[in-house]
Amino acid sequence: MRMLVFPALLYAAAASGVDLGGVKLDERASIAGTQLQLNGAGVRTRMLFDVYAVGLYLPRKTASAQEAIAMPGPKRLEIRMLRDVGSDQFAAALLERLHANTPEVELKAMQPRIRELTTIMNGMKHAKKGAAIALDWTGAAVQVSVDGHLAGKPIAGEDLYRALLRIWIGDKPGQAELKRALLGMK
């Protein structure tokens, strides 16, 4: 009997997810028919305030930022807002970290697509406390969802998604502790 109960308890714990800052991130996600697992999760703080919880979902776990960025297949960055933030502030912070982690030549090549992404983000008006923002790589395009609803059109280019990942797990992340948490190295 113990042999049957123990695996069930392990499954229940794995399915329960991770609680960060009062929000729950699931252990698994599915994108374009691919099952992803939570690689790591943490809370972004700025000037002592918790801003959002974020989880990185990959096809398989890794503690290597380079491997996570280069890994083929769908991926997800799931952001759960812990406070209200204006969409202009949110988009500006993304752009700041994009510029810090992406060579200028690559930025220039992606500029039209970065504008598309910024337009989608600014279309939110506010990233309200409790909002769930997913930045997905579907295997074919970058797709933004807000509270489970698609926001804007898909944006082509895996190079753009890799640049987005570098915001959090690149060489110059906004918060080193958060990078370690996303890579499962707490």
pLDDT (tens digit, 9 = 90+) per residue, 52-105? 999 999 999 999 999 999 999 999 999 999 999 988 888 888 899 999 999 999
Amino acid at 83: R
List 134's β-bridge partners, or say none.
78, 145
Give all domains of the chain, ordered by start, each with its CATH number.
2-182 (3.50.70.10)
8-17, 40-49, 123-132: segment of lowest average pLDDT: 8-17
Rounded Cα distance between 27 and 14, Å, is: 6
pTM of the model: 0.88
163-167 average pLDDT score = 97
What value does the CA radius of gyration of the chain take, rounded to a whole number of Å? 16
| Nearest C-alpha neighbor of 121 from the set 181, 167, 159 | 167
